[in-house]
Homo-oligomer: A and B are copies of this chain.
Amino acid sequence: MPVASPIISTASGEDALNALTELVRPDLEACNRLIVDRMQSPVALIPQLAAHIVAAGGKRLRPLLTLAAARLCGYRGDRHVALAACVEFIHTATLLHDDVVDESALRRGQASANALFGNKPSVLVGDFLFARAFQVMVEDGDLAVLAILSNAAATIAEGEVLQLVTQNDTATTEEQYLQVIEGKTAALFAAATRIGAVVARRPAAEVEALDAYGRNLGTAFQLTDDALDYSARQEQLGKTVGDDFREGKITLPVLLAFARGSEAERGFWRRTLEAREQGEADLAEAQALMQRHGALRDTVGRAQHYGDAALAALATFPDGPERRALAGIVAFCIARAR
């Protein structure tokens, strides 16, 4: 049992992501080669469309987590490389399907795959990548890993459906909102890090600790994302502001502003998000209401709370470059909103 030591990360934001990337660079490069290699198909449109989203400058955050978690657990083999690619394939598949269902015009600062190729290919190429992820897992041959990622895939779909159900409904509870983001985002983060401990054949306590790290990190990541969608910082990240607002997504900033608002303000939220009658000035008004009620500040504060829980979960592991890099990622996920 390693001695718990305080988790300190001096890095913040992009520095932390760069540090993690540097730490596992050979593994990440092998993973990137494998991603390109395994998204090939005799049907040329598949790699074309997949390349559009895979080559779009993604951070590879989830596969990085798998690679670093395996190294944190002292793993010395190379199974984690293929499994990190599986995690990215599943993530890419959900992005492709999410673009379709959300009609987002932008993804990672570029035209989304469905805007460029149409909805049909996006759905089907997503299906292909999902199937391909399972083919690669089968080649790896570990039922424990297959269980982790098939469970995560089911949970992601449940979270996405629940998000649709709560969409345009200002009576959504914070509990439901948390269920949505734990499903659509945190489940894959948790699976990504959990796999690291599983390939290293570590005891249950470490498997659960890495699961808790990933789950809390993913929750913090999504809370931050939801705050950013109403924040000026967002434009610097090359993403459009107000996507959630236009779609009537009920996120925590909305729930907080709604709960703290006057009856007139609640009327505003009902009109814009439930009835979806939105005018030119409404996004600015929504941002002003959030400012007035500290909704973004408190959403980021909540993200910090989950970030702290992620850091605490790392205490199970001995200090070292991997633990410091993973701790830094907590700062990266939250710093985007500051």
Q: Which A positions have Cβ atoms within 8 angstroms of B? A: 41-46, 94, 97, 100-101, 119-121, 123-125, 127-128, 130-132, 134-135, 137-138, 141, 143, 146-147, 150-151, 153-154, 156-158, 160-162, 164-165
Q: A143: which B residues are within 8 A, CB to CB?
A: 138, 141, 143
A164, B97: Cβ atoms closer than 8 Å: no
Known contacts A97-B123, A146-B146; A43/B161 CB under 8 A: yes
A130 to B153, CA, bound (A): 9
Known contacts A161-B121, A164-B121; A153/B138 CB under 8 A: no
Closest to A41 in B: B158
Known contacts A101-B124, A123-B123, A131-B153; A46/B161 CB under 8 A: yes
B124, A164: Cβ atoms closer than 8 Å: yes
A146, B138: Cβ atoms closer than 8 Å: yes
B131, A150: Cβ atoms closer than 8 Å: yes
Q: A161: which B residues are within 8 A, CB to CB?
A: 41, 43, 45-46, 121, 124-125, 128
Closest to A42 in B: B158
A119, B141: Cβ atoms closer than 8 Å: no
> Would you mind naming 19 contact pairs between A and B with Cβ atoms under 8 Å apart?
A43-B158, A46-B158, A97-B124, A100-B100, A100-B123, A101-B119, A101-B124, A120-B164, A124-B161, A125-B157, A128-B157, A131-B153, A131-B154, A134-B146, A134-B153, A135-B154, A137-B150, A141-B143, A146-B146
Q: A46: which B residues are within 8 A, CB to CB?
A: 157-158, 161
Q: A151: which B residues are within 8 A, CB to CB?
A: 135
Closest to A141 in B: B143
A interface, by DSSP: helix, strand, loop or mixed? helix
A143 to B125, CA, bound (A): 24
A121 to B135, CA, bound (A): 26
A161 to B306, CA, bound (A): 41
A45 to B164, CA, bound (A): 10
A187 shortest CB reach to chain B, Å: 11
A47 to B45, CA, bound (A): 33
A119, B131: Cβ atoms closer than 8 Å: no
Known contacts A134-B146, A138-B146, A143-B138; A127/B43 CB under 8 A: no
Known contacts A97-B127, A120-B164; A134/B150 CB under 8 A: yes
Q: A42: which B residues are within 8 A, CB to CB?
A: 158
A141 to B143, CA, bound (A): 7
- Most B Cβ at <10 Å: residue of A128, A158, A160: A158
Q: A94: which B residues are within 8 A, CB to CB?
A: 127
Q: A137: which B residues are within 8 A, CB to CB?
A: 150
- Most B Cβ at <10 Å: residue of A97, A120, A137: A120
User: Of the candidates B119, B138, B165, which one forms a contact with A150 in the assembled complex, judged by CB atoms under 8 Å apart?
Assistant: B138
Closest to A120 in B: B101
- Most B Cβ at <10 Å: residue of A42, A124, A141: A124
Closest to A117 in B: B164
Closest to A154 in B: B131
A282 to B46, CA, bound (A): 33
